[in-house]
Structure 1
Amino acid sequence: MTVSRPAELRVGEEIEVDGAAYTVTGLSGTEVRLVDVAGGERSMGLPELLSAPGFRVVTRVAALPPRGLFDGVAPEMVEQARWWEHHIVEVIAGVPPEAGRAARPRPEYDPAVHSLRQRELAKVNELSLDGNELALSTFQRCRLAYEKHGVWGLIDHRSTRKAGARTDERVLAAIDRAVLEQTNQSTGTVTRLRRRVEQILVEEHGVDPASVMPARATFYRLVERISAGKHTFGSARTRRSLAQRPDGPFGTVTALRPGEWTQIDSTPLDVRVVLDNGMVDRVELSWIVDVATRSVPAAVLRPTTKAVDAALLLARAMTPEPMRPGWSDALRMSRSVLPHRRLTDIDQRLEHAAARPVIVPETIVCDHGMVYMSQAFRNACRAMGINLQPSHEGSPWEKGTVETSFSAVGTLFAQYVAGYVGSSVERRGRGAEDSAVWSMVELQQLLDEWLVSTWQNRPHDGLRHPLIPGKALTPNEMYAALVETAGYVPVPLTADDYIELLPAVWRAINAYGVKIGRRTYDCAALTPHRRQHSGVNARKGLWEVHYDPYDVTRIWVRNHHDGGWIQAPWTHLRVGPTPFGEQAWDHARQMLARRGEDPVTEAEIASAAAALLDSAERGPAREKPTKKDKRVAGRTRAVAAADRTLPPTVSGPPPRWDDDEDNDEDNGQMADVIPLGVFDAREEAKKWW
């Protein structure tokens, strides 16, 4: 908890041996001369003295207070502790802590003249004359606390006591169980939870709730503390999702080369398109994400993803993306950061390919969907030599890279496309379905162009070097770097005294760990403290975290409950080698330096991406209807007409809907007009009374 200076024996030092206090009056070689408070003299050998029971130096320098811990204490309490420190240090050392090196102690506090007890009595008398009455025992208690814990020992710890310290353990256990039971129930209120806690106390502990339950305000604070991060009184869907997360830290897969680890998944795209049958509906997006480079080598849109579509996705991932008519010349692979010449020597098809890398998957992580568990998809993976790795059921975090990438599609692409309907009914605009004008094939072409122009050239937050976290690489830059080389080995550093002197910040311990400077740190020891209160009320439950600015491989979290430190490594460095090797980063750093060397290409790529989104939002522009337009329009009208229904008439035979039916004016017949009577409230009332 603290760092302190090693003890030194000097003439005038106060020591304790066998429970008695002595003053060092002389040092000669290995012999030490001591004088007790009664004036008795005693000589001891230095080895005998240092190994004597209860030996300690009373006038040793006080312990260094924990760095950053005073941030959670009220300023007036810190000021009071500093006031005590001024007087206690003067009694111990003879001069106040702020005195200079040349300062001399006042006569009544000179350790060479007066014993420790005499100096304490002089200080108590001085404080009493100044109007600060206190007992000698009170001053001695504060002095001992200062010698043991430093300034932190002079703080009134009643203000730092964590909530629930005085609450009956049975009540805390009942609240824990009641909160756990809310996982699969509909969201309720704290009042319902309190009633359930009272039932648990009666059923399991056989106690009267009135005798152990805290006050209502205290109960609300306890529930808020225990249910923190569990959404007990929030979204039921989020609550169930959080309950499915693993108890330990999230695992990290280290990919050393493109294609070593890939993830595949499907999700409905928040855009309505015109299907081949003329119907307007949403489509499903299926794509593969490479974990090492965050590249998307293939993506397909289908009304409903089938096994054959997933197999097609594999083939597209291993096939160069050709340049399409109308695409900007800046999207060519030959004008990108990809190693075009080296790759072209391997495959001549890349000569006129677009700037999207070709990736051959080695391992594919998927969920237990029928598409990916089908025999057709398994056979395709087996034929291509791909290892298919299904994730555990109910464990979406095991393929978190592809899961989070879908949200990026909505914000970076889908919301700009005509026919965008939002991610839910709550976010949907009025008549959003009427703006659907793109066909599925046309939207597929827009998606392919967007992946080349925007996704592959946009810096990704997950592609950062540990020493330069402020610079993010693009998927194309990371692909080029890993083609060259990969490898990195962290060097850990551990020392309690050194940790205390490191800079401190206050952070929350989330489900994924602790994030500092765009880096995430996690370990199994943080599991009991995830989303929990640290006990430091003044810091709103945040945890004190120390970090080394020159070594980002790990951080240290102070355990405010049990004491000590919890060492948490950076998640990307925990599993041996990482894709950010020194040689790979040197290559990537060169590419970062070349970003501004070709402003024309950068401007052209940005212009092509902006033009793509503008075109997607306007919809297809055609001067005159084509045959396809006429077919789609005819199907749409036919479907719309088939959906129209009219309510039947009040009396008479139902109307005939055939080709021989004409208007009444053409038939020369007029319907009988039945006049309606005037409603009289008084006359109607007489019928009922």
Structure 2
Amino acid sequence: MPSCPRLLRAGDLVRFDGRLHTVVALEGTAVRLVDEGQSPSVVFLAHLLSSAGFEVVTPSSVRAAVPAAGVLEGFPRKAVERAEWWQQHLVEMLTGRPLEDPHGPVRAAYDPAVRSLRQRELTKAEELEAGGHPASLKLIQRMRGRFEREGVLGLVDPRLRAVSDGTGRVDRRVVATLRKVVEDQTSRSTVSAQVLRRRMERALEAEHGPEVVPLPSRTTFYRLLSALSSGRHTLGSARTRRSLAKQPDGMFGQLTAVRPGEVMEIDSTPLDVLVVHDDGTVDTVELTGIVDIATRTLAAAVLRPSTKAVDAALLLARAMTPEPMRPGWADALRMSRSVLPHTSLIALDERLANAAAVPVITPETIVCDRGKAYISDTFRSACQALGISFQPAHPDTPTDKPHIEKTLGSVATMFSQYLPGHKGRSTEHRGVDPAAEAVWSIHQLQELLQQWIVIWQNRPHDGLRDPLMPGKALSPNEKYAALVAAAGHVPVALNSEEYIELLPRHRRTTNSYGVRINHRTYDSAELNPFRRQHSGAGDDGRGWDVHYDPYDISRVWVRNHRQGGWITAIWRHLRTAPMPMGELAWDHARRILAQRGTDAVTEEEIAQTAVALLDRAADGPEQAPVKPSAASSRRGRRDRKVAARTRTTSPPAWPRPADEPESPALPAPTEDGEEDLAKVVPLEIFDARKEAERRW
């Protein structure tokens, strides 16, 4: 145990201001000193201790420090016994008392009050030599210095204290080369250790020449590889290896949000459940969610066959609007039955009277990755219109948005695994035929997800612990109620006009026949005063601001730049194609007609072709599948995907702006001789084993 200064006491000899002083009295924070010339002085204790050159000279003013427990664990037994033997002798030499009895009588030969340190060291050297353990004065002084600096650990042989990096005595050139091979393996496919060994050998030959560097044996190489690849998953999962490489080298930062909506994170991930689409196909879906950091509230989540930019924009609208109670839900899921401040919030929005127990949160800052759906102009415009700060994460850095990553992972473990059709997170976790178990449609699964989110809001979350009561985990709703009371946050829900503002927009002129978007014509009687007129807004002052829903092209909304508000214009061929149709189906129908070589394609032809496409995809193949061409197979898969996404997104998002009275459709020209569509012939599944058994 090293010696260290204890508190001052009367009679101690100290060095202060370049002279020796004797402490004659301690009065509170003041110290009375007398120097060698018997001149008294009074100094504040803080000033005395912080003065340059201050030193306690009295030998008796040292005491043994508290021994460190467990510092000798892991060392050889003989080395531990040797260190403890030195500790006993050094403690006795420094304090005058044996280690086993620190409060016993002081031995006269080692009394610090009457014998100097050198006298005690000489006495200890004579005692050790008489006991059969000769030790020179220099050795005793060296051991005393190490003991005072490092404690009992300093008495252990320094060669045993060196921490090994696991590489042993292997040539440093081999270690450096193998370390580089392991680092290069991060972004590559997983290979065996033998491949890595060959890469190391070739790198050594290229850098130092053949047979210049001695290569380790097979056993040594495997031991060396295990040490250098520890925690990297070099021989394991490539996905895990890349994920670990993205983590920062230092300690993780922490972002503290003190009010709901201060920082929210949005992301998309494939859901590990197969669903039955409206056309009968079984396929996966994507889950897009937005989570609030302060409360861990899953403010909104939607399921789509694939995430588009407008999905991310409309997700903001869902987070800022109350979640209504649905038929069949338990009454315990109502907001009025929860811990949320329902009474004070209902005065701000009457829709909360029949809302579920999910708080309405207005985002202040949105953190997202750099996916196309989030860096698009549509999503950026939505954030700008709502006054939300758009904060994209660093490229390929999922740790910038860990909360949404963890939350979406919780959906997989706490929701998806319980559903029929669960396919696991990878092929190695997949069952024999999960597609045969799929029974839920995407609409039904969305309803189940919405109900699960309400349950999530009332479940204790391990990341929401009160600092004053760390033993209790709060639920997202409890945390929201606590932060609202402290921060005074008031949610502002969206109205129908704000909902329209989130939709994609175009600049169009108002002609005599209405407005046209992507070969579709929309018209309304309310446009009569503005036909063939300039809006007076925008860069050129000519175009009118037109917003549309890409998942329901039956109507658009034209901004009334003269009187304010919106004008709802109906698609003129809505009765020709009564099914709510999406932009994706419309564009796909146009491409089909373009491939046929049809000139001057009319709007009605496109509408009829799109409806026929959706009907054909929903009916399925008319005959047993045969081997088709690659082009027809691609068309078939594209048709099914278009049909699935169009039918999925046909129901309007809630809250939907109130429908305006439908304007009478203008007479549409009719054409005869419509060409029949080609049959969809699916492609067989390629079986390598079965193919190998065939005789050609």
Per the normalisation by structure 1, the TM-score is 0.60
Of the three residues 264, 268, 271, the one matched with 1:269 is: 271
Q: Is the 8 A contact 1:2 1:66 kept in 2?
A: no
The match for 1:87 is 89
Letter in 2 for 1:481: A
The match for 2:554 is none
Q: Is the 8 A contact 1:88 1:143 kept in 2?
A: yes
The match for 1:475 is 476
Letter in 1 for 2:279: N
Letter in 2 for 1:301: L
Of the three residues 317, 332, 342, the one matched with 2:344 is: 342
The match for 2:460 is 459
Closer, same or farther: CA 638–114 of 1 in aligned 2, 3 Å: closer
The match for 1:330 is 332
Closer, same or farther: CA 3–400 of 1 in aligned 2, 3 Å: farther
Q: Is the 8 A contact 2:271 2:287 kept in 1?
A: yes
Determine if the alignment matches structure 1 residue 290 to structure 2 residue 295.
Answer: no
Q: Is the 8 A contact 2:4 2:64 kept in 1?
A: yes
Alpha-carbon distance between aligned partners in 2 of 1:316 and 1:199, rounded to the nearest angstrom? 58
Closer, same or farther: CA 168–61 of 1 in aligned 2, 3 Å: farther
Q: Is the 8 A contact 1:279 1:639 kept in 2?
A: no
Q: Is the 8 A contact 2:278 2:618 kept in 1?
A: no
Shift of 1:485: 1.2
Letter in 2 for 1:438: W
Alpha-carbon distance between aligned partners in 2 of 1:53 and 1:420, rounded to the nearest angstrom? 73
Q: How do residues 595-674 of structure 1 correspond to structure 2 at under 5 angstroms? A: 638-639=620-621, 642-643=624-625
Q: How do residues 372-411 of structure 1 correspond to structure 2 at under 5 angstroms? A: 372-411=374-413
Shift of 1:69: 3.6
The match for 1:366 is 368
Alpha-carbon distance between aligned partners in 2 of 1:92 and 1:249, rounded to the nearest angstrom? 42
Shift of 1:343: 0.5
Corresponding residue SS for 1:346: coil
Alpha-carbon distance between aligned partners in 1 of 2:399 and 2:301, rounded to the nearest angstrom? 21
Q: 1:415-440: per-residue Cα shift (whole Å, max 9, x none)?
A: 11122121122111222211111111
Corresponding residue SS for 1:485: helix
Closer, same or farther: CA 76–59 of 1 in aligned 2, 3 Å: farther
Shift of 1:63: 5.7
Corresponding residue SS for 1:183: helix
Per the normalisation by structure 2, the TM-score is 0.59
| Structure 1 unmatched runs, 5+ | 16-23, 33-49, 488-631, 647-689
Corresponding residue SS for 1:319: coil
Shift of 1:208: 6.5
Of the three residues 97, 100, 108, the one matched with 2:99 is: 97
The match for 1:178 is 181
Alpha-carbon distance between aligned partners in 1 of 2:259 and 2:619, rounded to the nearest angstrom? 52
Closer, same or farther: CA 446–259 of 1 in aligned 2, 3 Å: same
Alpha-carbon distance between aligned partners in 2 of 1:442 and 1:352, rounded to the nearest angstrom? 21
Q: How many pairs were matched up? A: 474
- Sequence identity (%): 52
Alpha-carbon distance between aligned partners in 1 of 2:267 and 2:625, rounded to the nearest angstrom? 35
Letter in 1 for 2:457: Q
Letter in 2 for 1:4: C
Alpha-carbon distance between aligned partners in 2 of 1:281 and 1:434, rounded to the nearest angstrom? 11
Q: Is the 8 A contact 1:65 1:149 kept in 2?
A: no
After TM superposition, the structure 1 stretch with the greater mean CA deviation from structure 2, 253-262 or 410-419, is: 253-262
Q: Is the 8 A contact 2:458 2:477 kept in 1?
A: yes
Letter in 1 for 2:315: L
Letter in 2 for 1:185: R
Of the three residues 302, 305, 308, the one matched with 2:307 is: 305
Closer, same or farther: CA 291–175 of 1 in aligned 2, 3 Å: same
Q: How do residues 549-560 of structure 1 correspond to structure 2 at under 5 angstroms? A: none
Shift of 1:263: 1.4
Q: Is the 8 A contact 1:64 1:150 kept in 2?
A: no
Shift of 1:145: 2.5
The match for 2:159 is 158
Corresponding residue SS for 2:187: coil
The match for 1:30 is 35
| Structure 2 unmatched runs, 5+ | 16-21, 23-32, 38-51, 489-613, 629-696
Q: Is the 8 A contact 1:357 1:476 kept in 2?
A: yes
Letter in 2 for 1:87: H
The match for 1:5 is 5
Q: How do residues 123-202 of structure 1 correspond to structure 2 at under 5 angstroms? A: 123-128=124-129, 130-163=131-164, 170-190=173-193, 192-197=195-200, 199-201=202-204
Determine if the alignment matches structure 1 residue 319 to structure 2 residue 321.
Answer: yes
Determine if the alignment matches structure 1 residue 233 to structure 2 residue 235.
Answer: yes
Shift of 1:143: 2.8
Closer, same or farther: CA 440–219 of 1 in aligned 2, 3 Å: closer
Shift of 1:104: 3.3
Q: Is the 8 A contact 1:8 1:60 kept in 2?
A: no
After TM superposition, the structure 1 stretch with the greater mean CA deviation from structure 2, 74-83 or 148-157, is: 74-83
Alpha-carbon distance between aligned partners in 2 of 1:56 and 1:222, rounded to the nearest angstrom? 54
Q: How do residues 523-542 of structure 1 correspond to structure 2 at under 5 angstroms? A: none
Shift of 1:188: 3.9
Alpha-carbon distance between aligned partners in 2 of 1:242 and 1:190, rounded to the nearest angstrom? 20
Alpha-carbon distance between aligned partners in 2 of 1:385 and 1:241, rounded to the nearest angstrom? 34
Shift of 1:144: 3.3
Closer, same or farther: CA 203–638 of 1 in aligned 2, 3 Å: closer
Q: How do residues 506-525 of structure 1 correspond to structure 2 at under 5 angstroms? A: none
Closer, same or farther: CA 643–3 of 1 in aligned 2, 3 Å: farther
Alpha-carbon distance between aligned partners in 2 of 1:318 and 1:113, rounded to the nearest angstrom? 82
Alpha-carbon distance between aligned partners in 1 of 2:487 and 2:3, rounded to the nearest angstrom? 40
Q: 1:375-422: per-residue Cα shift (whole Å, max 9, x none)?
A: 333333333332332222212221221111111111111111122121
Corresponding residue SS for 2:4: coil
Closer, same or farther: CA 199–334 of 1 in aligned 2, 3 Å: same
Q: Is the 8 A contact 1:63 1:149 kept in 2?
A: no
Q: Is the 8 A contact 1:59 1:93 kept in 2?
A: no
Alpha-carbon distance between aligned partners in 1 of 2:363 and 2:290, rounded to the nearest angstrom? 9
Closer, same or farther: CA 410–644 of 1 in aligned 2, 3 Å: farther
Letter in 1 for 2:5: R
Q: Is the 8 A contact 1:170 1:205 kept in 2?
A: no
Letter in 2 for 1:30: D
Closer, same or farther: CA 122–338 of 1 in aligned 2, 3 Å: same
Shift of 1:175: 3.9
Alpha-carbon distance between aligned partners in 2 of 1:384 and 1:158, rounded to the nearest angstrom? 66
Q: Is the 8 A contact 1:285 1:302 kept in 2?
A: yes
The match for 1:351 is 353
Q: Is the 8 A contact 2:174 2:213 kept in 1?
A: no
Shift of 1:100: 4.6
After TM superposition, the structure 1 stretch with the greater mean CA deviation from structure 2, 301-310 or 118-127, is: 118-127
The one of the two structures with greater contact order (alpha-carbon pairs below 8 A, sep at least 6) is 1
The match for 2:674 is none
Corresponding residue SS for 1:182: helix
Closer, same or farther: CA 127–394 of 1 in aligned 2, 3 Å: same
Q: Is the 8 A contact 1:7 1:57 kept in 2?
A: no
State the superposition RMSD in angstroms.
4.3
Shift of 1:449: 0.8
Q: 1:172-205: per-residue Cα shift (whole Å, max 9, x none)?
A: 5434433322223333455554554555555546
Q: Is the 8 A contact 1:7 1:60 kept in 2?
A: no
Q: 1:252-279: per-residue Cα shift (whole Å, max 9, x none)?
A: 3332221221111111111111111111
Q: 1:540-587: per-residue Cα shift (whole Å, max 9, x none)?
A: xxxxxxxxxxxxxxxxxxxxxxxxxxxxxxxxxxxxxxxxxxxxxxxx
Shift of 1:8: 7.8
Closer, same or farther: CA 469–207 of 1 in aligned 2, 3 Å: farther
